[in-house]
Structure 1
Amino acid sequence: MSTSTDSPPARPRRDRRPVPPLVFLLVLALAALGVWWKVLDDAGAREDATEAACVTAAGAPPSLDPSTVTVRVYNASDLAGKAQEVADQLTQRGFVVDEVANDPTDREVTGPGEIRHGARGTDAAGYLALFLPGAGSFQDTRADARIDLVIGPDFPGLASPDDVAATLDPIASAEAAC
């Protein structure tokens, strides 16, 4: 004797779609996309930071040994003895002072002063400019590397060694990052 049931055998439903696994895969794909977006964005930011550091390092004045810089100090202000005072300060900081006098040229100097140099003294002039912020720069046709520091009527004094070091520190770290 066979037993029969009133209901037909159960068949798999064909209209059923695998929605939960598809949703899970979609969420997983979005999470992976977000991770890769972050990784690529961080890499771009690092490249931008490196490029900015290289630009900063390339445009920055060099850090030189003051004993390799020969300076002539000229006074173009109305203050008597100012050139000698500045020359003494530069000597104390390690610069080689070649001459101290009143400005022998007819150039009008305004502001804190002017740094005059030839093509061979460009790096030294950039370094000396750290000690006299706001000084103008004038390149002439001299053939040697000597530079002239001309004290102007608004000369505030030389920058402190701490200020110069504070200016050079970011430059050194930018050079290291480049």
Structure 2
Amino acid sequence: MSTTTDSPPARPRRDRRPVGPLVFLLVLALAALGVWWKVLSDEGARAEADEAACATAAEAPPSLDPGTVSVRVFNATDRAGLANEVAAQLQQRGFVVDEIANDSSDREVTGTGEVRHGPRGSEAARFLALFLPGAGSFQDTRADARVDLVVGPDFTELTPPDQVASTLSPIASAEAACSEPV
């Protein structure tokens, strides 16, 4: 007889956790989390940019047909005939000029001029202000939509039509983007 100890064969341990697959799953979960974080932050940035564009479009002057804007042109300078010259240029651009005269108000006009309007003429005044850069704005209590363009001492010329169009084209595209359903 032999004196050997017969021990049963060693069995693999079942309580050992597979570290490699767990690390792989953890890295995969972190990568997925990073992708979703990027997607959601980009979406938020796009939404903020859209809101800013819509706010800019809302504050921007409207694009109106000049034939719908009724204007009175007043001269607040010492230069004779300036109101007639400006009125003729506005008529060539399609505006309806109701009256041409010297400014008889007691308001002091400085700079290139002033656009006067009532509450109903706010949009028309913002549109007309595109044609006279640097003009101030004054809202009075008139009930109609008529707008006064008062030419000031620093006036040199109206804004060229192509510059007005280039100012209005990005505004129109921003308004179109804002009105599209999401």
Aligned to 1:102: 102
- For residue 105 of structure 1, give the secondary structure of its aligned residue in structure 2: coil
Q: Work out the number of aligned pairs and report it.
A: 174
Cα distance in 2 for residues equivalent to 1:108 and 1:169: 34
Write out per-residue CA displacement over residues 114-164 of structure 1, whole angstroms, 9 at most, x where no aligned residue.
011111111110110111111011111212111110000011311111111
Aligned to 1:142: 142
1:58 deviates by 1.5
Cα distance in 2 for residues equivalent to 1:54 and 1:35: 29
- For residue 54 of structure 1, give the secondary structure of its aligned residue in structure 2: helix
1:20 deviates by 0.7
In structure 2, what residue type is equivalent to 1:133?
Answer: P
- For residue 111 of structure 2, give the secondary structure of its aligned residue in structure 1: coil
Aligned to 1:32: 32
Aligned to 1:90: 90
Spell out structure 1 runs of 4+ moving beyond 2 A.
6-10, 13-17
Cα distance in 1 for residues equivalent to 2:78 and 2:7: 118
TM-score, length basis structure 2:
0.89
Aligned to 2:171: 171
1:57 and 2:77 correspond: no
Cα distance in 1 for residues equivalent to 2:100 and 2:37: 63
1:9 deviates by 2.2
TM-score, length basis structure 1:
0.91
Write out per-residue CA displacement over residues 35-89 of structure 1, whole angstroms, 9 at most, x where no aligned residue.
1101111211121122112211221111110000011111111222111111111
Cα distance in 2 for residues equivalent to 1:146 and 1:55: 27
1:94 deviates by 0.4
- For residue 84 of structure 1, give the secondary structure of its aligned residue in structure 2: helix
1:7 deviates by 8.3
In structure 2, what residue type is equivalent to 1:76?
Answer: A
Aligned to 1:20: 20
Structure 2 gaps, min length 5:
1-5
Cα distance in 1 for residues equivalent to 2:119 and 2:32: 57
Aligned to 2:115: 115
Q: CA RMSD in A?
A: 1.7
Cα distance in 2 for residues equivalent to 1:32 and 1:120: 55
1:10 deviates by 3.7
Identity of aligned residues (%): 79
Cα distance in 2 for residues equivalent to 1:108 and 1:65: 30
Aligned to 2:45: 45
Aligned to 2:3: none
1:15 deviates by 6.5
- For residue 83 of structure 2, give the secondary structure of its aligned residue in structure 1: helix
Aligned to 1:3: none
Write out per-residue CA displacement over residues 89-110 of structure 1, whole angstroms, 9 at most, x where no aligned residue.
1011000111111111121100
Structure 1 gaps, min length 5:
1-5
